[in-house]
A and B are shown apart, each in its own frame.
Chain A
Amino acid sequence: MVDDLKPPAPNNTPAREAVKPAEGVNLSRKTTTAAIKKPVGKKKKVADDTSPLFSRRSWLAVAWGSFSAASAALLAATGRFMFPNVLNEPPQQFKIGFPDEYAPGVDERWKDRFGVWIVRTPSDVVQEASGFYALLVTCTHLGCTPNWLSAELKFKCPCHGSGFRPTGINFEGPAPRPLERARIVMAEDGQILVDKARKFQFELGQWTDPESFLRI
């Protein structure tokens, strides 16, 4: 154990004085080490100096330092590994055809593939114009997929019974807020383009945004 090694007693203790050193011999630990001690990391050598380039301390510092840096980099790379670059998920932007292909009311043809209901209305509750809006099929309670009950003219979530009007506004059950609308615009070729990357929430006053409703 390192603790067992005690440094030699300083020169002024009685035990030392009992043994007189020979002339010229220096018993002091301080001066002895100072004579051969080189500054850490210094590489300058004098002509007949045979001490190593790196002290053991500086070499270990370099080794530990680079090992720690490499380990930190590896850890960061592992963290980045967990975020995939490619997703096998349906695209967020998609065209859904021409306006003429849609009758007034709720259309379910894209519900399974893209997760939106396309609703054509003669008079929107907020925009007060005729046109299209796209409702995201995610219940605002805990994320289940509601069903469109055409006979009762409402969206009803099977998980906990949240109910939404065709406009998306919640009126029964535990849902705290209306269904969200996706961005819906006209593409250059005349088809309707739905963009789920941008969503609009009624309770934040975002349904007045022109991109949340396509006026036809």
Chain B
Amino acid sequence: MTRYAFSVNAELCIGCSSCGMACKNQYNLDPGMVWRKLYPLSEEIYPHKDRAFYSLACNHCSQPACLEGCPVGAYTQREDGIVVHNEDVCIGCRNCLRNCPFGAPRYNEEEGHVEKCSMCWQRIDEGLLPACVQACPTNALTLVDLDTDDVSGTVQYPPGFPYRPDVEPSTRFVLPVAPKVVRRDV
């Protein structure tokens, strides 16, 4: 069996946003449409603002709320866990925006349909990595197989991420570490 998931290592992540732009580049997204981006961790979670991030797009849940609530069946869940959205079937009712706890689907006003990360399934089927994963310069964002890879060092619900066992997101996380800081008196 295969169960693909993104693994987000916030310790290795250097906040470069290559992942996000690689996605925009792969799909020629309209300006204003962002499928993947970095979410900075608040100071309650990591002690320095804008210095630790989770790179998030779609979490390809086991029980995807988007798929369940879609009236036209624009979502499909593959055997390997990837949740694919079909823009041509979509009628832009935006019910999925009300259902995804992670805000993954985005509405494209000009096109009249919703869009979201579909884990570059076309690339995966050719044995390639998703564009974002390939882009990451530090292996912070990787593709894992939850059925066969060792993800024992990761967590499913880190701080800064909603606790939603009802949808069961597939993404796994490693938490960031803060350095020792020597400051001047000023």
Question: Does B associate with A?
Answer: no
Interface residues of A (CB under 8 A from B): none
Interface residues of B (CB under 8 A from A): none
